[in-house]
Amino acid sequence: MMKNTELFYRQAKTFQDKRAAINAKYSKDKQALEPYRGSQGFEDESKQLDEKHTADLAALINESRPGMLAVLKSMYEAIDSRSMPAPTAEQTNLLNVLRMKKTVTAEDCKRTAEAVKDNPLAVSVVTEIAREHEIMQSYDYLCPEMSTKHAGEILASIKRELEDFLQYDTSRVSRLAQQYELQHYGHTASRLTPRATFSTQAEFYNTVGLEGENMHKFAEIVDATA
């Protein structure tokens, strides 16, 4: 049975390649009309090509979205069904002492996280305490396992990015640059740049900020079966 992370990548790759084929054919057909620019026939056929291109992309999106959302749902279910060992009595005592401190330093949090790093839940509690004291540090990297909370945050981010991936084959940065210039200057000199393409699973997940050990820890959770 294919793992969730591989299935999601394959669906994304299929969508990417089909969209590229649609765009390539559209560009080729438009280019073939150039010798007739200025004629009524050019205008009519160009409009037909534009409408067909828009319709083909919309159909591809509607065809692809349900399957990708279904895989994300399966990932959420894997996270929800994950068992989480409780912190030991010693770890709980350390967390309670940290919570009781009026002034908590970054060093306090780091040393406590080091002491409880074999328990994802305990490590996530240290991160919460740190943020309560305006220490913007996550200690998840110390734990050999990713916390359920962190995995859920990553999955939520992937879900948010999915619609952007489906709707646009240009980079978000270039689109934001154009939008900014239009809003502030009424015109733009910026050009839209193509979205980075991927040909491997590692390249795909890298586009959503998952790589190396972080990707491995995430996959261990969302690929698990109940």
Q: Write the DSSP assignment of 12-35 as a string of letters.
A: HHHHHHHHHHHHHHHHHHHHHHGG
Distance CA 226, CA 224 (A): 7
pTM: 0.80
Region 152-170 average pLDDT:
94
- DSSP, collapsed to helix, strand or coil, labels residue 194 as strand
Cα-to-chain-centroid distance, residue 22: 24
Distance CA 166, CA 175 (A): 15
Q: What is the pLDDT, as a whole number, of residue 118? A: 92
Identify the H or E element spanning 37. Answer: none
Q: How many CA atoms does the CB half-sphere of 82 hold within 13 Å?
A: 26
Lowest mean pLDDT among 11-20, 51-60, 145-154, 162-171: 145-154
Residues 97, 87 contacting (CB under 8 angstroms): no
Confidence label for 190 from pLDDT (cuts 50, 70 and 90): confident
Region 1-19 average pLDDT:
96
Instruction: Write down the mean pLDDT value for the chain.
Output: 93
Residue with tokens 């056929």: 45
Percent of the chain at pLDDT exceeding 70: 99
Flag whether pLDDT at 86 surpasses 80. yes
